[in-house]
Amino acid sequence: MESGRSGAAILGFNTMLALTAIATEMTDVGEQSHQSPGSGEAPHRASSRPGLRAIPALSALALAVSACTLTPGEPSVSTVNMAAPAAFERERLIGRWGVASFHDDKDRRRTETEARAQCGQPYTITKGPTDGVMMHVADDPKRYELRLKGTSAGQTYLGFEAPPGDPQDREILSSTDRIMTMRFADPEVHRRYGTFVYVRCGA
């Protein structure tokens, strides 16, 4: 695997070196002195410098080539977050839930118990006016309509009309009719709030 990684890096670097050399040569040609035979005039620089005009284009080409030298097995963001149908319907989310959160996986079972105890003051998820559900987003007391979004990698997100994995999304890590876990997609927000456990009240 390491040989494949180094080979891809060397290919991209060598290609950029070759393109840079071509650009330098074109610049030298464009900057050669021009003098009309027998005119007696002093040499002057050409007003048109095609070599310099070519540098940005070649630099862009070098960047494009280097971007294509991905190591096999390294997924790109666009393929990971390619939109796909959600794994389940919004009806699974609707209802009354006890909610608690944890920051360490070893606390998950205890957090489920704490979430169940919160059913005395449940968090209610209702249907939205279209095809979403009404919930809060991070650091905002207002409820918004959020929609389920899937990816080709099998992930499920809940959020606004934006590509799956948007910073304001929640990622639904697991979900059944009785219990589900979610976390905010934004790493900074996730660090503050942890992973949420929702336990259906009365189940």
Residue 16: pLDDT above 90?
no
Six token digits for residue 97: 């839930």
Residue listed under structure tokens 């660090």: 191
Rounded distance between C-alpha atoms, residue 90 and residue 133, angstroms: 7
In this structure, are 95 and 184 located in the same domain? yes
In this structure, are 143 and 169 located in the same domain? yes
User: For residue 71, how many C-alpha atoms fall within 13 Å in the half-sphere facing its CB?
Assistant: 11
In this structure, are 95 and 190 located in the same domain? yes
Top-ranked range on mean pLDDT: pick from 13-17, 72-76, 123-127: 123-127
Rounded distance between C-alpha atoms, residue 179 and residue 198, angstroms: 6
Rounded distance between C-alpha atoms, residue 55 and residue 70, angstroms: 24
Top-ranked range on mean pLDDT: pick from 2-6, 33-37, 51-55, 108-112: 108-112
In this structure, are 64 and 9 located in the same domain? yes
pLDDT in tens, 132-169: 999 999 999 999 999 999 999 999 999 999 999 999 99
In this structure, are 65 and 89 located in the same domain? no
At 196, the pLDDT band (50, 70, 90 cuts) reads very high
Structural domain containing residue 115 = 83-200
Total structural domains within the chain: 2
Residue 97: pLDDT above 50?
yes
Cβ contacts of residue 75 below 8 Å, gap of 6+? 153
pLDDT of residue 81: 63
pTM (predicted TM-score): 0.60
Cβ contacts of residue 191 below 8 Å, gap of 6+? none
In this structure, are 56 and 127 located in the same domain? no
- Minimal CA–CA distance to 18: which of 69, 67, 68, 66? 66
Last residue of a domain, one of 51, 74, 97: 74
pLDDT of residue 84: 83
Cβ contacts of residue 201 below 8 Å, gap of 6+? 95, 96, 97, 98, 119, 122
In this structure, are 18 and 52 located in the same domain? yes
In this structure, are 51 and 91 located in the same domain? no
At 68, the pLDDT band (50, 70, 90 cuts) reads very low
